Structure 1
Amino acid sequence: MGTRFQYDGEVVTVVELVITQAGNEVVLRHATGRLTARLALRELLVSDRVTLIPDSSGETERVLAEPATVVLSELSEVELQQVRERAAHVREVLTGYRAGSAELAVTGEPRPQYAPHLPPTSRYKAKATELGVGVRTLQRWVADFRQDGDAGLAHKRDRAASRQLGRVDQRWADVALEVMVEHTAESTPSRTMVIDRTNARVVVRFGEGVVKAPSRTTAFRVLEELERRHPTFRLSAKRNRDIADRPDGVYGKLRPTRPGEYVLMDSTRLDVFALAPVTLRWINCELTVAMDWYTRCVTGIRLTPVSTKAVDVASVLFQVFRPRPAGADWPDHAVWPEHGIPRTVLLDVEAVMRPEARRPGASGPAMVPETIVVDHGKVFVSEHLTSVCARLGISIQPARLRTGRDKGPVERFFRTVREDLLQALPGYKGPDVHARGITPENDAFFFLDELEAIIREWVAVVFTDRR
């Protein structure tokens, strides 16, 4: 009772609900104080002649604009599961039961630290310790849950971004996204130019004054939200093109079922300078690796000065068949064990170990590759490598042009080498010219062979041993 409506242009207030045999009716009072005729409750709820007048514009408009069903339906399965799990923790803090009721309690509930007779402060601290969050964070979750239920625990930043787009005409946002997409293959534009082109195109397409253009500040916020759908301003132009070329569906790729079925091979320019052993001058170097797709083990490594040659790629392929010996000072877990073969039966042990080594063993697994996956670099499609593969019975599977995700694991390995190893070495120059120091080449310290030994040991000790 007391809710205000606008009925046929007049402000009325519900003062009484009358239950009759024909159906429920409400008694309305005019804003002047006089009573009006009765109105069917169904007419009040569904008629286009009736408009609800919110008591407080902020709270009521927010609830009406974001029903719980709408908020939850916009979440993915993973996000929805996270919201449900968080709601269960909140209910356990409030009631002692994850389902929120003693009738639906499971075995072991309530747990001692969440017993209903305990003070709320104690339960809040116990739950915050269990989840690894602050008490204030947990209190915000409880407040959001009490106000909006499970929907209140959804990610508020995404909801705020959706509301931001809702404040402008959808036609303006669609045209802005269209202009951003057109700059995919071009140089990175400024946000101001995109806004100006969007305003001009909206006038040409819909007419003058038909679509209201947002203010400059609101337009910048809308572009920030559209940036999530189609990156244009934040990243480099090359990175934005790579993201735009991603397929809409699931990535199609080869699916290895056994070790050696697919071996990925690729080269990259390292982001660190090395020293030439003869001239003692700094030089660029390239890293060529072979990785077994099934086990993600790096089975071949070679570091070359300046650029990679076809013979270097063939050398890496040879390491797949015959791994290099393990280092004498490597820990036990870094030495690759011989699986299922007694050491007395293993032939040609000297070929995979140095005489001064403390233990036998190789730095990686030995396998016979069935297919190598390479890109279209000259060294990988050369006659030398092709003849080697033909003689050994190895198939060559070329990746698609400018599609690095076809060799995703080895591309990710190159990034891991840079972030976990190279940036801690002297002579590190960064991933691009914008991240380079003043004179990183003056800090070059390691010779080429020393840098290769460091990378090889890091792969065996750290990379291969991680989960």
Structure 2
Amino acid sequence: MTTHKTGILRLGDRVEFDGKDYVFVALNGEVAELRAGQETPLNVLMTTLLTDKSFRLIGIDGIRRRGLGESKIFEALPAPAKDRAHWLENHITEVLDGVPAGAEPGTRPRRDYDVTSRSLRQRLMTKEAELQKTGNPLSLSTLKRLTRAYETRGIVGLVDQRLVRRTPTAGQVDQRFIDALTIVLQHNTDQSSGSMDRIRRDVEKHVQAEHGSDVEIPSRATFHRLVKKLAQGRHATGSARTRRTLSQQPDGPFGAVHPVRPGELMQIDSTPLDIAVEFEDGITGRVELTALVDVATRSIPAAVLRPSTKAVDAALLLARCVTPETMRPGWSEAVSMAASALPYQAMRSIDARLQNAAAKPIIMPETIVCDHGKAYISHTFKNACRSLGISFQPAHPDTPTDKPIVERTLQSVGTLFAQYVTGYLGSSVERRGKNADLQAVFSLLELQDLLDEWIITAWQNRPHEGLRDPLTPGRILSPNDKYAALLNVAGYVPVPLDAENYIQLLPAVTRVINSYGVKIRHRIYDSAELNPYRGQESGMKALRQLWEIRYDPYDVTRVWVRNHHGSGWITAFWRQLHTSPQPFGDTIWELGRQMVAGRGTDSPSEATIKAAVDNLLDRASPAAPKSHKTAKKVHRVIARSRAGEAPSRPLPSPEATQSRTGTGPGLETEPSKARDEQSDQPEKLAKIIPLRIYNPQERADEWW
């Protein structure tokens, strides 16, 4: 037990101050009067007295209060050692306080141990003689040492110190060898994992270079034990990924931000999803999952699957975040927002878009934390954040602890969803089943639909450990529960995403409006509404008199030209649209341009690239020979292009833009020639096939 200053100080109590015993006799305002026998009283400020390191409260019974309980170290000692320590404590406390520690309250001290009439040395000599007679002799010097140890460390000071001695981490190994080992382990952090012999050899070379043969090299067994004891030695020969992750942790305590409203702090990240997907060209491959996670509610308001994440994917993810999820054919009413924990009636009275919405919260981001991936630090994503008034906050390089919520959420998707889907590949090669990639049955669009349904039905209603109620910690809330609870405090303000907002999220370029229209990457776009502006300057000095144009990399059929002389946007269609047998995106067009340029044509025409693309698509069909040299690259590009053919969100209606801008153009100003040919024929509605609610746990047995 260590000595403490705990207790209540009353008039008449005995205290120890500056190495002497006093009696607390009076309190004059903030000044305490202390008296020691017939000496002159000592006046001292109470703040000075109570904060002085030498101050001790002895108490009216003369017993010093040295602690509030036994140390955890003492509790772990063997029973014989604890019994002897208690026996010594009774004798030492009788010397110090006049009565043993185990004496009954009110016990008067024996005459030879009375602290008021006998000095400490006299009491020690009496105790020495007493123990000599009982057959348990202790010398005077030993009693003095035990007394000092008890005063400073409590009962642990009376124990054989060999039992409580702190063992050095490195034992008897030379400190110079330990320093060299630490340097080698730090250098090993970014290297590929090797054996312990490699590390030992590097340490010996380092020691030899720095100190010669002066340092004693420990044995092989001692070296192995030493590496395991050092913090830098963890995973030294194990997982290189884990080793790098541990080294990226900050040295100080982890900080924490506690947002109090939905959208106040959100995190975005991408990760490969361990599911084999069958693309439309017949090949299989993995896709990337990009998700936005709200820190306050742990909700996933938006998640998309793509063969590889591009900047436009991250930007359009913001649009999904503030757009209601509509109910789909076959979904149960239990999935609707009206039947969920979300405050549907209050939200619907403000936002009529929620009439047939599914139970997914609508969250407007205020701050988004992301890593330094190309998709997130691109101008496209930054401009999207800027246009919606979102604060863009990149994380520190190689510091995953800056966005731990989204990191853990993406892992949870693999644990709670991916492993139940047919075609699951496992998180590593060691965990992969036999021919797992051949079990791919879902297309990219089907898998996206399953993921959306799982997020709404499972994730949003699943209790989350990070959402414990602070007033009742035993209760765990789900993301929807937490969202509903925070809305009562923060309120809800809908942010409708109209046509102009949607266009603002697309990549932008600047061009001249020529007599033939506008040219973007060898594609020519034109519209009758461009007639008044052909050959004219935009009037925008910041754009060097060029016109701002927005385009969708997944839809090359049209672009949107900002009307700098009026308002709104002008939709210009691709001139070759009516000759294209199937839609394709900007990525596959760029591949076709590179193929034509590789044949020696510096400035290929639009028709030449169009023909090369059509030929490329024909050769990349499932019936094409597998031996084609560029087949693998072509398959990836086609999969990337076709991933955006069926958008999960329809384009905003043109009427909304026209009504907002008055006479300004909407999203579509004129139909294409291909549509004109079919305009006279009545449209035949497709048969709607109801879909069951997707439950991966129930279907797991059917897949394997």
Q: Give the TM interval when normalised to the shorter protein.
A: 0.5 to 0.7
| Distance of 1:439 and 1:320 partners within structure 2 | 37
In 2, distance between residues paired with 1:310 and 1:298?
19
Matching residue within 215, 222, 226 for 1:222: 226
Aligned match of 2:323: 322
Give 3-state SS (helix, strand or coil) of 1:429's partner. coil
Aligned to 2:304: 302
Residue of structure 1 equivalent to 2:200: 195
Partner of 1:275: 278
Contact 1:299 1:323 in 2 (8 A): no
After superposition, what is the alpha-carbon deviation per residue over 1:336-361, rounded to whole angstroms, capped at 9, x for unaligned?
55427458735434x663xxxxxxx4
Q: Which runs of 5+ in 1 are unaligned?
A: 1-18, 29-37, 48-61, 72-161, 354-360
* C-alpha contact (below 8 Å) 1:336/1:364 kept by paired residues: no
Query: Does residue 42 of structure 1 match 2:39?
Result: no
Which range moved further: 198-207 or 371-380? 198-207
Tell me whether 1:398 sits opposite 2:497 in the alignment.
no
Tell me, yes or no, if the aligned pair for 1:333 and 1:461 is still in contact at 8 Å.
no
Determine the structure 1 residue equivalent to 2:48: none
Residues in 2 aligned to 1:45 and 1:213: alpha-carbon distance in whole angstroms? 43
Which of 4, 19, 24 pairs up with 2:128?
24
Deviation at residue 203 of structure 1 after TM alignment: 5.6
Partner of 1:423: 419
Q: 1:394 to 1:204 in 2, by over 3 A?
A: closer
Superposed CA deviations along residues 175-198 of structure 1, whole A, max 9, x for unmatched, are: 323321122233334211222333
Cα shift readout 1:311-333 (whole Å, capped 9, x = no counterpart) = 32233211221131356137469
2:177 equivalent to 1:180 = no
Q: Report how far residue 427 of structure 1 moved.
A: 1.8
Report the Cα distance in structure 2 between the residues aligned to 1:352 and 1:273, rounded to whole angstroms. Answer: 36
2: CA distance between counterparts of 1:20 and 1:171? 47
Distance in 1, Cα, partners of 2:347 & 2:189 = 59
Answer whether contact 2:321 2:362 (CA < 8 A) is retained. yes
Q: Quick check: 2:249–2:399 contact (8 Å CA) kept in 1?
A: no
Aligned partner of 1:389 in structure 2 is: 385
Distance 1:253 1:376, change over 3 A: farther
Distance 1:405 1:323, change over 3 A: farther
Larger Rg: 2
Q: Partner letter of residue 293 of structure 2?
A: M
1:193-216 CA-to-partner distances (Å, cap 9, x unmatched) read 2223334544665664x6543321
Q: Are residues 1:266 and 2:273 paired?
A: no
2:366 to 364, 370, 373: 370
Flag the 1:20–1:292 CA change in 2: closer, same or farther, 3 A: closer
Per-residue deviation, 1:302: 1.2
Count the aligned residue pairs: 322
Q: CA RMSD in A?
A: 3.7
SS in structure 1 of the partner of residue 458 of structure 2: helix
Alpha-carbon spacing, 1:309–1:169, altered in 2? closer, same or farther (3 Å) = closer
Match of 2:463 in 1: 466
Contact 2:248 2:398 (C-alpha < 8 Å) held by counterparts: no
Distance 1:457 1:215, change over 3 A: same
- Shifted more, 386-395 versus 267-276: the winner is 386-395
Quote the Cα distance in structure 1 between the aligned partners of 2:347 and 2:201. 74
* 1:213 corresponds to 2:194: no
Distance 1:65 1:196, change over 3 A: farther
Equivalent-residue separation in structure 1 for 2:225 and 2:289 (angstroms): 43
User: Do the aligned partners of 2:334 and 2:340 also contact (CA within 8 Å) in 1?
Assistant: no
Q: For residues 294 and 131 of structure 2, what CA distance do their matches in structure 1 show? A: 78
Structure 2 letter corresponding to 1:198:
V
Residues 24-423 of structure 1: matches in 2 within 5 Å? 24=128, 40-42=139-141, 64-67=161-164, 165-166=170-171, 168-169=173-174, 171-202=176-207, 208=213, 212-226=216-230, 228-252=231-255, 254-276=257-279, 278-304=280-306, 306-326=307-327, 328-329=331-332, 331=334, 336-339=340-343, 341-342=345-346, 345=349, 347-349=351-353, 353=356, 361-423=357-419
Post-superposition offset of 1:290? 1.1
Once the two structures are superposed, what CA deviation does each residue of 1:91-129 show, in whole Å capped at 9, x if it has no partner?
xxxxxxxxxxxxxxxxxxxxxxxxxxxxxxxxxxxxxxx
Residue 413 of structure 1 deviates from its aligned partner by 0.8
- Where structure 2 has 5 or more consecutive residues not aligned to the other structure, the ranges are 1-122, 147-158, 465-704
Identical-residue share of aligned pairs (%)? 30
